[in-house]
Amino acid sequence: MEAQDSSIETHDLTVIYNKKPAIWNIDFLLPKGKIIGIMGPNGSGKSTLLKAIMGITEPNIGYSKIFNKPLDEVRDRVSYVPQRQSVDWDFPASVYDVVAMGRFAKLGLLKRLTEEDKHIIKDSLEKVKMAPFANRQISQLSGGQQQRVFLARAIAQRADLYLMDEPFVGVDASTEEAIINLLKSLRDEGKTLVVVHHDLHTAQHYFEWLVMMNTRLVASGPAEEVFNEQVLTDTYGGTLTTLSKVANLLQEKSFPMRHK
């Protein structure tokens, strides 16, 4: 795969938390128009990777590109779905209010919602089957419904690339199925979907491309090639002891990873 055909390219991406690498030298190209899973054990830096790609966390080393361009040039083509638990669902807002946030980037500071925006919001709500709940207060939603609201907000952005952080966590079976069908229909429209996921059982059925990581990149490639015992052992079978010793030393001695 060449860089110009890729949806996401990361180059030696490294993020350091507390002087210790949370992700280390992640370097890959992801294809377009596929459902891509990012997998790895807890604390392996999956969410950090998404945040670094979206510029929410500034990478200490390396860079990433989206559609072969810097993020800022293509921001309106990318949509990010944070972890559901990252927000306070007691916030006084309705389902409609939250989905409308998906249009804010295009509206700027003061412009009101146009008829078209309203249509898009409604349409997005229908796609996740939440239209009847449009006026429901978000604090009254179940976990699965909250997740659908987040997805509707992302759809309302009308992006080409969707980055989703653990959309399947804490949702009921019917929501899980609805989400995966939604992902497939988006893929059929030519969109790219990158999903952080941790359930190994479903991984093979959900994703066409897999990124396996554990702080470092273990493998990235078509699901049927990547999903084998060796890769799984490398990803989940404990950390590389030498690597984590070096990481601990960096932290202990406050050693800079790069210097000039």
Partner 1 sequence: MNDFWIITTASLVALNTAILGSFLIMRKMAMIGDAISHAVLPGIVIAYFISNSRASFPILVGAAVSGLVVTALIQFFSKKVKLQNDASIGISYTFLFAIGIILISAFGTNVDLDQECVLYGEIAYVPIDLIYWGNQSIGPRQFWILFSTAIIIVTAVIIGFRKLVLTTFDESFAAALGINIVFWQYYLMASVSLTTVVSFESVGAVLVIAFISGPPATAFLITRSFKQMIMYAIGFGISASILGYYTAVWLNGSIAGAMAAVIGLQFALVFSIVKFRQRSRIQDIPVSGA
Partner 2 sequence: MMNFLKEILSFLSFSEPNVKVVFWGSLVLCGISGLVGTFTLLRKRSLIGDVISHSVLPGIALAFILGKQKNLIYLIIGATITGWISTYLVDYITRNSKIKNDTAIALILSVFFGTGVLLLTHIQHSGNASQSGLDQFIFGRASAMNMTDVWLFAGAGIIIIISTAILFRGYTLISFDEGYARAIGFPVEWLKLILSITTVITVAMGVQAVGVVLMSALLITPSAAARFWTNNIRVLTILAVVFSAFSGVFGSAISYTYQGMPTGPWIVVVVSLIAFISALTGSKTGLLKSLLLRRSNNRKILKENTIKIFYPLSLQGTPEKYYSLEELSVASDTPVKILSKGLSVLKNDHLIEGNSSLGFRVTAEGRRESRAIVRKHRLWELYISRFMNLQPDHVHDDAEGIEHVITPEIEKELEEELNFPLLDPHEKEIPYDQL
Residue 242 touches which of partner 2, partner 1, none (CB < 5 to 8 A by kind)?
partner 2
Asked whether the beta carbons of 187 and 33 are under 8 A apart, the reply is yes
The Cα angle at residue 19 between residues 17 and 22, in degrees rounded to 5: 40
Half-sphere exposure of 52 (CA within 13 A, CB side): 28
249 near partner 1, rule: CB under 8 A: no
DSSP-derived secondary structure letter, 60: S
- Placement of tokens 């409604």 in the chain: 122
90 near partner 2, rule: CB under 8 A: yes
Between the CA of residue 46 and those of 49, 80, 245, 249, what are the distances in Å? 5, 14, 21, 23
Site map (CB under 8 A) of partner 1, residues 146-175, x = contact: -------x---------x------------
16 contacts: CB under 8 Å, gap ≥ 6 = 22, 60, 257
Query: For partner 1, which residue of 1, 3, 107, 249 counts as binding (CB under 8 A)?
Result: 107
Dig out the tokens for 186 from the structure: 């988006």
Nearer to partner 1, 60 or 94 (CB): 94
18 near partner 2, rule: CB under 8 A: no
CB of 255 to partner 2, least distance (A): 5
User: CA–CA separation, 64 vs 14, rounded Å?
Assistant: 10
Residue 219 touches which of partner 1, partner 2, none (CB < 5 to 8 A by kind)?
partner 2
CB of 244 to partner 1, least distance (A): 22
Site for partner 2 in 104-163 (CB under 8 A): 139
250 near partner 2, rule: CB under 8 A: yes
36 near partner 1, rule: CB under 8 A: no
Helices (H), 67-219: 71-74, 95-100, 104-107, 115-127, 143-156, 173-188, 200-206
Name the site residues for partner 2 (rule: CB under 8 A).
12, 24-25, 27, 61, 90, 139, 216-220, 240-243, 245-246, 249-250, 253-259
Name the site residues for partner 1 (rule: CB under 8 A).
51, 54-56, 72, 75, 78-82, 86-88, 91-94, 97-98, 101, 104-105, 107, 109-110, 137, 153, 163
